[in-house]
Every structure is written in C-alpha cells, then in structure tokens.
Structure 1
Amino acid sequence: MLDPTGDLLALTRALCDIPSVSGDETAIVDAIEAALRRYPHLEVLRDGDALVARTSLGRAERVVVAGHTDTVPIADNLPTTVVGSGSEAAVWGRGTVDMKGGVAIQVALAAALTAPTRDVTWVFYDHEEVEASLSGLGRIARNHPDWLAADFAVLGEPSNAGIEGGCNGTLRVEVRVPGVAAHSARSWMGVNAIHGAAEVLRRLAEYEAADVEVDGLVYREGMNAVAISGGVAGNVVPDECVVTVNYRFAPSTSVAGAEAHVRELFSGFDVTLTDAASGARPGLDDPAAADFAATALAFTGGVPAPKFGWTDVARFAELGIPAVNFGPGDPLLAHKDDEHCAVAQIQLCHDALRSWLTS
C-alpha cells in the first residue's frame, strides 16, 4: 500500500519501483486508486488505467493537476537508489524524472489538501510515452470530457522545477525508398534501396533546424531519422528501405503545415504520416497561468522557458484549457539510463504547488 501521508521521497521511490512501462500501468494505477479511495474528500473515477480524483467544494475556480504513470522501458535501473545526502541527494532510477516525482507530488497533495482554495481534479493517466492515439488522457477527453472541465491545468512533466510554457508539436513519417530485388551475386540486375536511402539521409544531414519565437519564448525545432529498415536476406539486394523521421516543430505551426514542410523536404519519395500531435502556445498571458507562475517562481526562481518536447499541455490547449509544465527533474535526463532527480526539487515543487492551492 502506498502511504500518501509519509515521507515524500519514500513515496516517490515506491511509485518508481512499481514497473509501469507503457501498456503495463494496471499495477501502479491500482495502488494509487487504493491509496486515494481512503479519503472522503475525494471522488475517485476510473477509465481503464486512467484515474481521476477530484474535490467538489463549490470553489470559484477548478484546476486540473495531471501526470502520466507510464515510463519508457526499464534499462536495469530499478529498483531506485538514493545517491548523496542533504541538499545533494538524488534519487536514481527509471521514472524518477519522467515523471513519477511529479506523480508522487500529486498523490501526496491529493490526500493532504482536504480544503484547497480551488477545486482540484487530480488526473493520473496511461500510455503517454507511446503514439498519441493510445493516450489515456485522450481517452478521458473522448469518453468523459466533464472529468477534465477546468479553468487551468498544471502538468507535472519535468521542468527543472521551473515553469515551461507550451510545447513543440511532433510528427513521424515513413520515407520509403524503392528498389529492385536481385541476387546479391548479380547485384547489377537490381537496384539497392538501402543505397538509395543515402539521399534521404543526406537531406537530413544538411537540414538546418529553426529557432522560432512564439509569444516571447524561443522554441528549437528538430528533424531527425529515428529508425531505418530494409533487406530480407543476406544474399538479396533489397527492394525497399524505410527511413522513419521525427519532426519537432514550433507551436506556431499546425500539423498540416508541418506535414507539408516534411513532404517538401523529401520531395520525390513516398512519404507516409504515421503519428502527429500539435504543439501548444505558451499561454502565460492567461490570468490563471500568470498567477500560478508568479507563485511557483517565487519558490523556485528563474523565468518561464519553452518546453522543447511534446507534452499534454497541447491536449489541454485543444480543450481550451490554458496549461503549463511544472515538475521536478531535468528534462535532459528523461529516458536516459542514468535517469535521476534531485530530492530537493521534488520537495520544492510540492511546496510551491501546495502554497498555490491553499493561498
């Protein structure tokens, strides 16, 4: 059983030590549900492996605080360990950054805040680290849109305990290079598709990604090959090679505009769109977002920054709900084998969010 009222580090480690690679979130959601159903001030709702716990106090404002429970595959980095002590302590292991430190904060505050000054909807959802069509948050939006009704949302994605506004959009395409199969002993009778992929890779290598300013924040784009496949046997000239390309684009660009840009880049090749999600503008000019940012930054310091990766602030933006990223952990360590999060950041984000929800 999880103990939401105990030590925050212990709660973080307990959540991390429950393996929850995308598609295997049932155990961790069962544990969170069992922990939160003990509190009468919370209404607890579930759709598959997505869980919602909310207050209904009749406050003038409702806030969603959301986080995903899944992780990328484990890389021999569980169970968690703690390295260092005092202000230098860090918890190491899969999920410590992305994003069970943020989830631990949600669980602890959901249990503790029996009378927040804003009504709060705590959302724990599955399938964030895979294609957008599988997202548990998207499923809630389709099946139970009333569960997400709110004036503002905070997403606990790692932001180094700072405010990160908006996010880049993302899409993936498959660029197909045709060839003609032949026996490799008579290769001149065929056309090698893998060799032909050199042109795709050349265009990628020469591509210059843009830095785009949107509402005062500068978003860095990126265009990268993330997979390549081709060939059927060791003695056959391959008749097809597929290069998978991921494009991260500024939130001022639509999915349609991003797709058109990619198709232009790979003109002459067969391009198939396989996954896409729009970005989100910073939204920090919204009064609720500005109020939260002022409170959070009073604790953590710094200034708002752009979120380069895609996060579900974009999904909230599509629902008309302004949202920001705010959570413990260095985003540069997300998904790495040496993933680790400063313990002090987890406590700092907890205290900042608690202050805002009770002020």
Structure 2
Amino acid sequence: MSDTLDLFADPVELTVALVDVRSVSGEEAEIADLVERSLKAHAPHLEITRSGNAVLARTRLGRERRVVLAGHLDTVPINRNFPSRREGDVLHGCGTVDMKGGDAVMLAIAALSAEARHDLTFVFYDCEEIEAERNGLTRIEREAVEWLTGDLAIVCEPSNGTVEAGCQGTMRVEVRTRGKRAHTARAWMGENAIHGMGEALRRLEAYVPRQPEIDGCRYHEGLQAVKISGGVAGNVVPDEAVLTVNHRFAPDRSVEQAEQHLREVFEGFEVVVTDFSGGALPGLQAPAARELVEAAGGVPVAKLGWTDVARFAALGMPAVNFGPGDPTLAHTQEEHVQVQQITGCFDVLKRFLLA
C-alpha cells in the first residue's frame, strides 16, 4: 500500500483502500496514521491534530457557520470478510457499511474543502464499536471539546443515503420482585417471587408505545423485556426475580422523563435504572440542517436507534446521520455496500458543503 491515499480518487476506490486496512477496535493506529499522512499530503489547507488514534482536521475560512463531519475508523472483529472484494456494483468486506464508506466520503470532501461554503471540521475517531468510556469522542470531548462544536453535526454512519434526523434515547431498568424461600414440599410457607412477576409481564404485553412526530419525523418508541432471571434450586421457592426491560424513547423526552414514565408503568414494583443514554432532537429547523435536507433532495426520517449524534446534540447543535450502506448489514459476515450509495452520498455532501 502507498504511504498515502489519493484523496482525489473515486470515493469508491478510497473505500476499498480503507477497508483493506485492518482496524478492529483498539487497533486503529495503522489506519489513523494513514489518514493523517494523507490529509497532510493532499489537504495542506487544513489544520490537523491527533488525539490518540483519532485524527482531527478543520478549515479556518471565516465562514458564518461550521459543520462537523464525524466517522469512526474502527470495525468489529473480522469474520472471514477481509480483504474487500467487488462484485459488479457491490463492494463486500468488513467495514464497507460500518463505516469506511462514510469515512471515504469524508476524506474526499476534506480534499476539496479549501473553498467550502461553510467552515468544516472532520473527526475520524477510534473505539466506537466498544464500551463508551473508550470511544474516541469521549476523550476528545474531555480534552478538546472545541473540535466537536459547530452549527450542525453529520455523523456519516450508514443510513441508506437518507438523512436520518436525531436519534432515540435508550434506558435499561431492572424490575425486581421479592418473596420468601421455602421448601417446595411446603410451598405455602413461602412466597414465590417469580409468580409475583406476572403482573409486570402483563403490563408489558398490554403496553402501547408512542409514535410522536418531531420536525416531520415519526419516532417509534419501544418497551421490551429482554431478560428474566430467578430461582435458587429445583426444590426451593424463589425469593427474588429480576426482569430486565429496555426502553427506546423519542427525543422529546429527557432521560429523567423516561425514567419517570417507567416508574409509572411499573408502579408498585422495585425499579432500578442500570443504563441510559439520552436521545437527540432532529433540529431540522436550523439553517444548516435545512440546507442539507434540500441538497439530499428527499424527506428526512427519524433515526430509531441510538448513535453518536446524541453526543453532538448534548453539546447544543442539531445532528443527523447520513452515510452510505444499509445499517442492517453492519456487523454481519455478509456486510456489503452498493457503490452507488457511496458516490451518491459524496455528491449530496459536495452540493451542500462546497462552493
């Protein structure tokens, strides 16, 4: 492989070059070095710095607005899908969807950004696919938050080339019931905690989730039991049962409001919050966001999962997901992307960002 990537090449060829560099989470040094060298060689107008295995670059053109483009460099572990291979208009390989196609589009835009319509910041970060405390954005926010601020953030995660606005929040809780142990031969002397969970399960079965519309985007909430545990031995009445519930909530609810809602749903039960991440409002009324939607020429849709757009929204800016690839193929052995989506996303961002 060359010491640098040709950032003026077809974004599809850039994708191939990135996919063919192994970069499983925690092992991004090689690809980060390559991205840094390539930006310095082909985009000398950019201010470039390094944060661990994240590469940060930005213009200083004095424009009225700044747009932040973000993409992670890491992939999940390779699963007999490396290196890349192309079959007609389909590119196969680990990271083609999640998310080296998006990274390639970002690099191609960076190379052409000397006369951009907006000031641009490019954030190529590490460790997105593993625990949040190791996510490169966590470190950058802590040490150099100015690199993450602007008037609009575009996270180039796969979105089938559609603008996915904001994202839903997520919360996990444990619903607990307590009873009294006894020998099953004398069960009437105990109180069965598993039996006591029946009412909580009935409430979940009857639950009707909201579908609020925000900025023209319809979000579909969810409340699902994802795990249940209890029991001591085959001849003991159990004295504790735990039901784990996952709640996906629309971004018009705060974390605090989501928790209050779950406590109302499970009123009378012991409820313990074990994990949560707030959502991100779409913010499509912001001028830069409207321009992007217009450039994309389509109707934006709600992001139903959680992505790093929430981190940018928490910093006070509208944030969207926009990148090539079908997100349902991410992390699969069959991961692949239509090359037209890569070039299509590049064309949209070129119309939106470049003079």
Q: TM (normalized to structure 2)?
A: 0.84
What's the CA shift for 1:243?
A: 3.7
Aligned equivalent of 1:41: 45
8 Å contact kept, 1:132–1:275: no
Amino acid at match of 1:104: A
Aligned equivalent of 2:344: 348
| Cα deviations by residue, 1:225-252 (Å, 9 ceiling, x for unpaired) | 3445566888987665544322111111
Helix, strand or coil: the match of 2:346?
A: helix
What's the CA shift for 1:199?
A: 5.1
Q: Does 1:332 align with 2:336?
A: no
| Change in CA separation of 1:21 and 1:52 when aligned onto 2, cut-off 3 Å | same
| Change in CA separation of 1:77 and 1:173 when aligned onto 2, cut-off 3 Å | farther
| Change in CA separation of 1:118 and 1:203 when aligned onto 2, cut-off 3 Å | same
| Change in CA separation of 1:337 and 1:182 when aligned onto 2, cut-off 3 Å | farther
Q: Distance in 1 between matches of 2:178 and 2:76?
A: 33
| Cα deviations by residue, 1:151-195 (Å, 9 ceiling, x for unpaired) | 222221222112222221122223344466788999888777666
Helix, strand or coil: the match of 1:67?
A: strand
Aligned equivalent of 2:295: 295
Counterpart of 1:13 (choices 8, 12, 16) is: 16
Q: Distance in 2 between matches of 1:191 and 1:80?
A: 58
8 Å contact kept, 1:4–1:107: no
What's the CA shift for 1:141?
A: 2.2
Q: Distance in 2 between matches of 1:189 and 1:2?
A: 74
| Cα deviations by residue, 1:282-341 (Å, 9 ceiling, x for unpaired) | 2111111111221222xxxx3111111122222222222222221112233334443322
Aligned equivalent of 1:304: 300
What's the CA shift for 1:20?
A: 3.9
Q: Which stretch of structure 1 is more off in the superposition, 219-228 or 11-20?
A: 11-20
Helix, strand or coil: the match of 1:11?
A: helix
Q: Distance in 2 between matches of 1:4 and 1:190?
A: 72
Aligned equivalent of 2:5: 3
1:123-134 alignment, distance < 5 Å: 123-130=123-130, 132-134=132-134
Q: Distance in 2 between matches of 1:185 and 1:51?
A: 66
Q: Distance in 1 between matches of 2:240 and 2:66?
A: 53
| Cα deviations by residue, 1:60-91 (Å, 9 ceiling, x for unpaired) | 332211112334454444433333x2xxx222
Aligned equivalent of 2:314: 318
What's the CA shift for 1:7?
A: 4.0
Aligned length: 351
| Change in CA separation of 1:187 and 1:11 when aligned onto 2, cut-off 3 Å | farther
What's the CA shift for 1:120?
A: 1.2
- Which residues of structure 1 form unaligned runs of 5+? none
Aligned equivalent of 1:208: 208
Q: Which stretch of structure 1 is more off in the superposition, 322-331 or 172-181?
A: 172-181
Aligned equivalent of 2:281: 281
| Change in CA separation of 1:238 and 1:65 when aligned onto 2, cut-off 3 Å | same
8 Å contact kept, 1:132–1:276: no
| Change in CA separation of 1:17 and 1:225 when aligned onto 2, cut-off 3 Å | farther
| Change in CA separation of 1:343 and 1:187 when aligned onto 2, cut-off 3 Å | farther
8 Å contact kept, 1:2–1:11: no
| Cα deviations by residue, 1:26-55 (Å, 9 ceiling, x for unpaired) | 443333223323342222222233321112
Amino acid at match of 1:326: F
Helix, strand or coil: the match of 1:114?
A: helix
Q: Which stretch of structure 1 is more off in the superposition, 281-290 or 307-316?
A: 307-316
Q: Which stretch of structure 1 is more off in the superposition, 322-331 or 34-43?
A: 34-43
Q: Does 1:52 align with 2:56?
A: yes
| Change in CA separation of 1:240 and 1:31 when aligned onto 2, cut-off 3 Å | farther
What's the CA shift for 1:211?
A: 0.9
| Change in CA separation of 1:113 and 1:332 when aligned onto 2, cut-off 3 Å | same
| Change in CA separation of 1:185 and 1:45 when aligned onto 2, cut-off 3 Å | farther
Helix, strand or coil: the match of 2:219?
A: strand
Q: Distance in 2 between matches of 1:233 and 1:2?
A: 62
1:172-187 alignment, distance < 5 Å: 172-178=172-178
| Change in CA separation of 1:112 and 1:130 when aligned onto 2, cut-off 3 Å | same
1:194-233 alignment, distance < 5 Å: 200-228=200-228
Amino acid at match of 1:324: V
Aligned equivalent of 2:146: 146
Percent identity over the alignment is 55
Larger radius of gyration: 2
8 Å contact kept, 1:131–1:275: no
Q: Distance in 2 between matches of 1:352 and 1:314?
A: 23
Q: Distance in 2 between matches of 1:92 and 1:272?
A: 43
Counterpart of 2:85 (choices 81, 87, 90) is: 81
Amino acid at match of 2:39: L
Aligned equivalent of 1:63: 67
Q: Distance in 2 between matches of 1:322 and 1:181?
A: 53
| Change in CA separation of 1:185 and 1:47 when aligned onto 2, cut-off 3 Å | farther
| Change in CA separation of 1:336 and 1:265 when aligned onto 2, cut-off 3 Å | farther
Q: Distance in 2 between matches of 1:337 and 1:198?
A: 39
